[in-house]
Structure 1
Amino acid sequence: MLTTGGAFSDAGVKLRAGLDSQIAYNVKLCNDLRNVNNAVYSQAFWLLLSCMVAALVVSGGLPGKTSRCKPAFAQAWPFRCAGRNSPPKAVLLLYSAFPGGFTATDRIDFIVLLQTILGFAIARIERLEGSTNAVPYALRQHWSLLLRSDALQMHYQPLMDLKTGQIIKVEALARLRDSDRLRTPGEFFPALSSDDFVELHARGLMQALSQRNRWLRDGINLNVSVNLPPSALSHNRYFEATQQAVRECGCAPDGLTLEILETDAFPPGVDVLRELTRFKTLGIRLADADLGSGHSSLNRLPEVPFDLVKIDRNISNLDGHDASDALRFICQLIRLGHSLGKTVAVEGIEDAGMLEAVLILGADVAQGHAIAQPMPVEQVAKWLGSRPGLPYCRHSDTPPGKLASRLIWQERLHLLSEDPRAFAMPADISKIKK
């Protein structure tokens, strides 16, 4: 890894010693954090990678600011997660400004160490998040071009006001028309670059706001929401694109909600409150899209200017979970949101039972397949005109609804038991509905 001989030998020894201690620290950091949060672990993994590759740059191993020469030597090192003969999961390309740049023994030893550490990191990430597949460069370029064309199509999923049963908003979700296939974000998002995501936000937002104007002209008053990745808070281009879209479309800004995704942690070193406040100055609404998820910080809720919080779909999914515990947790999150003056929505509502349950537990808004699946724009007006009546009365007719009613009754009974004077007031107690 390090240059040897001549004037570089002393500096190389010092750099190697310092790097070895940094590697040991970051390996320990990864080990300590991996059980806390997988995305944090991934960040530590990339920190480790950047640290080690930066050392190669300093030593002339990679073309960068320290070397303006064209690469004279390159090597490809495969990462295998299980055994020497297993297929490679990834390939690390190393470039050197000098012929034979990675043939020295100490460099080979270092790269083997790098290869081993990253191989273990990839294996662990795949064990936690599932198998990964490399996207061919030509396909990535193809999707990037489609993103900048009419192939980008926003589909819309309705959100229902649980107090009235009315559809008050639609969430705009990106789809990519690729020949005869309609690709979902799970397919093409992993292949997008940071520039692609800015383009996606700008085009998707403009498309959603323009469509809202068309609905208003047709007498359909629907607010729209658009997702915003946490990385947007560290890139001013997202703010500029939002500002431009609101200005050009000329619609009331409070009809737009930006849902801040917390599928990843917020960028380090970013003043989250200041950046979110900038978006609020545009007159738009903000939502925390993943309340209760691994990255959503409950202690940050009182500080950030969210108008709405959405309980994550993984929490409302009862499959494989104790229904009583899940509903109790949802109930407490709803209470927390209301105590902070936020509107509370629950997403991932897949059946009538959960729709009934979250209504009984006090949620304000619901979203999920029990109401409607995401649909292309041409189907929205037709669906609104023909949708069947949706249950929004407070009767517990389904198992989840009955369980939710029982949880509320138990909670009220517990509160009464904490105050012995309440039992001296039977008339008041009898007014409490079970």
Structure 2
Amino acid sequence: MTRSPSWLILGGVMEYLILAVVIAVVAVAAISGLVISGRKKKRLPPPPPSSPTVTAPPAEPHVGEEAETPREEPRRTIEEVDLPGTEAPAAEAPAAAPPEVPPIEVPEPTAGRLVRLRARLSRSQTTLGKGLLTLLSREHLDDDTWEEIEDTLLTADVGVAPTEELVERLRERVKVLGTRSPDELRGLLREELLRLIGTEADRSVHTESGVGANGEEKPGVVMVVGVNGTGKTTTTGKLARVLVADGKSVVLGAADTFRAAAADQLQTWGERVGARTVRGPEAGDPASVAFDAVKEGIAESADVVLIDTAGRLHTKTGLMDELGKVKRVVEKHGAVDEVLLVLDATTGQNGLVQARVFAEVVDITGIVLTKLDGTAKGGIVVAVQRELKVPVKLVGLGEGADDLAPFEPEAFVDALIGG
């Protein structure tokens, strides 16, 4: 059967409509898939094990289809909820215990201290005392022997003039003596050494209280001076022990403001015997600290004020002038009773140069010889007294706290010659 042209046209239109419907359905399905996949969240892969852990921010709450099912949790009524502030207060921490105060020491009595320290002079004894006795015991004392005696005295730092004087007197007395037994020689040498050292000088450390500039009672004032390295601050601390052992109350003035540890060191010495230390700021004015120390001593009715000054090199003119200023400022309260020069016995003749310069700046009234136990130059006692015309008042014979002793010429000579 042959179809007409109108049927053919109708069939083409129907195919076109069916094709359009199919395309529309496919398009709608594709768009729906894209929308659904867009609503799903992508999951990031976990970090590799070697990478450091990174704390992610809290996830956003899920909504719609992805919302989580709420978990069942126990619930409390308002009566069961405790109000703030109803808990018991926490127990307070126990207060820290106060620092333990070290007990105050009782220093060794000074009477006879040099005798007890006699063994410390063994090195000086070997060179000066025993050396001279050995030479004087020779059967024939010719010129060569007397020269050896002179060399022994000079090596021991007795000094040129005292050595010549001693040798001349020994030669005369040995000639008159004739026979020379060991005991006679020892007695002869003892007499001549005591004559050189001197037994008539006042060797006490003057610490008597007096009347101040304003009419009030003033404690005894002692200034301690010397160059760096002589043991000046240590000597000041040991001197405080000597005075406390003799029944005196002491105030310490830490006027060495140029050395950071000097004030701490002096305060430690003072605390051991119950002596108060007056100190100032580091690199402060030494004269001001010294002035305040004496003022404090007056207020406390102390017996003695010890002022430790900075260790100054004798070549530094400005620093030496400052030492004179310290003394002048202290004297506004009243007179300074003692100015003790600390010398290292091991420096020998160089110590005499230092002593001479200090004597030009302040009036030295006494000498403290330290490290006399570690030197073979015990003759420095004679030389320094001749140089300054002031006596040796104290000697240091060791590192112990009570190894500073009042100088006793008889005990010193006996230790030298073994008598």
TM-score (norm 2): 0.29
Higher relative contact order (CA 8 A, sep 6+): 2
Bigger strand fraction: 1
Which structure has the greater CA radius of gyration? Answer: 2
TM-score (norm 1): 0.28
